Amino acid sequence: MSAPAQVPPDAAGRDKAVQAMCDAVDAGDAEAFGAWFADDAAYRFNAGEPVHGRPGVIQATRGAIGAMPWVRHHVDQVAHVGDQLFCRFTITTAAAGETEVALPCVTVIWVADGEIVDYRVHMDLSPLS
């Protein structure tokens, strides 16, 4: 498992951390993505049940990565509001028949003591079907 990563307190550092998280997922490295999370973090994808704990985040990320042939994140915007980051992404992957699709996504990240304690993904997956 990757060593824990620290989310910096400054906006520029947090922007770089968000990009590093995206790069980890794009590279298929669930452990590097999970390193940003607190041991007791909550992770929720759309209306699904929340996953709790860093190992659960890593397992859920492995599952998401494995469900797509490939994935690329483009960070469109990161808004900083206190200890929360509101991130707008365009996520590109392949749908059935290898047609490339761009999926809009918003993620809300709550940081405490340099670690992610709550991570919520809101994304429309209907273009994949």
pLDDT digits (tens, 9 = 90+) for 93-108: 988 777 899 999 999 9
44 against 69, higher pLDDT:
44
pTM value is 0.92
Inside any domain, residue 70: yes
Inside any domain, residue 4: no
Inside any domain, residue 6: no
**Is residue 13 scored above 60 in pLDDT?**
yes
Task: Identify the pLDDT of residue 2.
Answer: 60
Neighbours of 52 (CB within 10 A): 14
Instruction: Let me know: does 15 contact 85? Beta carbons within 8 Å.
Output: no
Which of 24-33, 104-113, 120-129 shows the lowest mean pLDDT across its residues? 120-129
Task: Identify the pLDDT of residue 88.
Answer: 98
CA distance readout (Å), 104 to 54, 86, 87, 92: 25, 13, 11, 9
CATH number of residue 23's parent domain? 3.10.450.50
Confidence bin at 125 (pLDDT 50/70/90): confident
The number of distinct structural domains making up the chain is 1
Task: Identify the pLDDT of residue 35.
Answer: 96
